[in-house]
Chain A
Amino acid sequence: MPLGAQQLRRQRTSTLLSLAGVTASLLVIFAQLGIERAVYDSSIRIHRSVVTDLVLVPMGFKSLQLNADVPVAMTDVVSANPSVSQVLPFWFGVMSLKGADMPVARRLAWYAIDVERPAIDVPGLRENLYKLRVTRRILFDRDSRPYFGNLANEAEKGEEVPVTGPPDNRGLLREMFVVGTVAIGPNVVNDGGIVMSEASMDELLGEWYSDRPAFMGIRLVPGADKAAVAEQLNRDLAGRGEVISREEFEAREKRYWSRETPVGYITDLGFVMGLMIGMVFIYYAQYQIIRFYLPEYAILKSLGYDWWFFLCMIGQIGAAIITPAFIVAFTLARLVYGVAEAAIHLGMAMGLREMVVSLIASIVMTVVSSLFAIRRLWKVDPIMLFE
């Protein structure tokens, strides 16, 4: 049996304390990673559902949440390219909505599409698309947070469920009818969403929106070179809009959330804090053992054991702590993710990324604390055994 692990077994109090501390710090790391994934993934749900090859976005696009738009006149510039087969506009905004059994109105995202040429495809949209041809008919996001009462269930029964939307210019709330459901999911800023037709958008929110889509999906003719077409379109647009790939569309939204909102900083800070706390607890166990067994390390030195041996032994102590701590933290984190997901509906789930990053963090904790701990062993001198 490795000496380090055996020594750890005989130092039960500091071992248990370190185990608890490292488990807690790993749990913090798992939580940060889970929150980060939930925020980023929920922010790009619409981006992932875009069905086109390229996307025309406002120049310098960062996030849909910034409500920037593209002049619809750009459709002519884009359509003029022989490699473009279709241009599909998509509108996005935020409004409040109240159902009959809701005590207060809740904020949600609205998405408007050209019913004949939808720019996105989400579960439930295709089969319900025809219902949107009638104005003021909307599809409710059944994955919305549970603040909207029984709206989704009633709509799925095939009934037209009346709800009230934002007020008109006389202050009267506009009436809409939920005629079906789709599955999109909420994000950090919106509790849910609805999908409507361009015509309903004009009637409910004002015609001026029609001229300002949030983005336009660009479908190319078969065999067209995406990169070359995007380059050509960007030259033609001359700064009045920007054509990017769908992957870039997602990446920019993620980059915005990670670098330009407090979310990225908070989760990064939490991650680093968890890492540092974990290191301190592993170092504590290693330090306690080194202090207790100092004369025995002098014996090992007198027997000719080298620094590599001592580094491995200190590493064994770290590994003996981090391994059970990781297993416990992983199990607890799955429970925490489940509870959190039930409350926030942001898609918080344990994935490969969370496992790999936490595992790497565990290895970093062990290596760094071992390097600090081994410095204590520099002082060990077998001469002390003669005294």
Chain B
Amino acid sequence: MTSEGNTLGPAVVEAIDVHHHYGEGAQRVDVLFDINMQVREGELVIVTGPSGSGKTTLLTILGTMRRPSEGKLRLLGTNVSDINNAQLDRLRNRVRFLFQKRNLLSSLTALQNVVAGVSTTALAHPAWDEVRARHLLGLLGLGDKAESWPDELSGGQQQRVAIARVMIGLPDLIIADEPTSALDRVAGRLVVDQLQDLTMRAKCAVVLSTHDERIFDVASRRLHIEDGRCFEVPIHYH
């Protein structure tokens, strides 16, 4: 299931014989079986599958929020099973997440939310981060919304602010969990276009779970999960 496109760089994240289960003994529930996959620099991989198929579990494992029960996960060449929690936290700084909703901090303005994506200390943010954040908001068409509170923004605008926050962190891997499901068609399109643009410009890898067939065209590849097993399917362009 490896894409061998000429423009793609080395693997950012790689799952090798990954198996995952919740609970133990009689309570044990197996959710992922023998997952083998890799996502390279500049790739946008869409993950589809019905509810309960193991999509979210796979995303959390790829994003190193969970360690797989069995098998190996290599992120940026490091086997996450071989490192301690502090090292894992540092490695996770190279990963950014985009959620379906609840992406923004309600007590910070749009600009402050973007800056929060790069300054992970309690100290005052350097002025340079603020300049970059304003620039990114401008690129995403939110230049005039920098001082707005999240509850003053539409769902699409909130997602674009979240994308700006992802972009400012210069991540190697973006995990996006159904980022367009709460948006209308136009707003959803804008969001995935930005993500696609990001994979091309910043050479990062994106793993995006969705049920929305209208956005499949932005994907480099599409993986489908069913009953915990993952396989690649061809993309049908609409």
Contacts and interface: CB of A to CB of B under 8 A. Distances in A.
Interface of A: 1-3, 6-7, 9-10, 293, 295-296, 299-300, 302-306, 308-309, 312-313, 316, 381-383, 385-387
A382 B116 contact: no
15 contacts: A10-B107, A293-B106, A299-B99, A299-B102, A299-B105, A300-B116, A303-B96, A303-B169, A304-B92, A309-B121, A383-B65, A385-B97, A385-B177, A386-B60, A386-B99
A12 to B, nearest CB: 12
Contact of A3 (B59, B93, B104, B105): B105
B96 to A, nearest CB: 7
Contacts of A383: 60, 65-66
Given A3-B107, A303-B169, A386 B59 contact: yes
B108 A3 contact: yes
Interface string B56-72: 10011000011000000
Given A296-B105, A383-B65, A385-B102, A306 B60 contact: no
Contacts of A382: 65, 97
For chain B, the bracket of interface size reads 20 to 34
B122 A309 contact: yes
A316 B60 contact: no
Contacts of A10: 106-107
A231 B167 CA distance: 79
A7 B120 contact: no
A131 to B, nearest CB: 70
Nearest to A297: B105
B210 to A, nearest CB: 14
State the 6 A-B residue pairs at the shortest beta-carbon distance, nearest first: A312-B122, A304-B93, A6-B107, A7-B107, A385-B99, A309-B122
A309 B66 contact: no
Nearest to A296: B105
B54 interface: no
Given A316-B122, A386-B56, A302 B97 contact: yes
A303 B177 contact: no
Given A7-B107, A383-B60, A304 B120 contact: yes
Interface in B70-129: 89, 92-93, 96-97, 99, 102-108, 112, 116-117, 120-122
A303 B119 CA distance: 9
B102 A303 contact: no
A300 B99 contact: no
Nearest to A304: B93
A205 to B, nearest CB: 70
Given A305-B120, A313-B122, A300 B105 contact: yes
A2 B92 contact: no
Contacts of A304: 89, 92-93, 120
Contacts of A300: 105, 116
A300 B56 CA distance: 20
Given A303-B169, A382-B97, A385-B97, A6 B59 contact: no
A10 B116 CA distance: 19
Contacts of B117: 303
Given A303-B169, A304-B92, A386 B177 contact: yes
Interface string B15-26: 000000000000
A309 B120 CA distance: 7
A371 B50 CA distance: 43
B189 to A, nearest CB: 23
A48 B104 CA distance: 65
Given A385-B102, A386-B177, A303 B120 contact: yes
Among A300, A316, A385, the one with the most B-chain Cβ atoms within 10 Å of its Cβ is A385
Nearest to A295: B102
A312 B124 CA distance: 12
Given A299-B103, A303-B96, A381-B65, 14 more contacts: A3-B107, A9-B107, A10-B106, A295-B102, A296-B107, A300-B105, A303-B116, A304-B89, A304-B120, A305-B120, A308-B122, A313-B122, A386-B60, A386-B99
Of A304, A382, A383, most buried by chain B (CB within 10 Å of CB) is A304
A86 to B, nearest CB: 65
A142 B56 CA distance: 84
A309 B104 CA distance: 18
Contacts of B65: 302, 381-383
Nearest to B90: A304
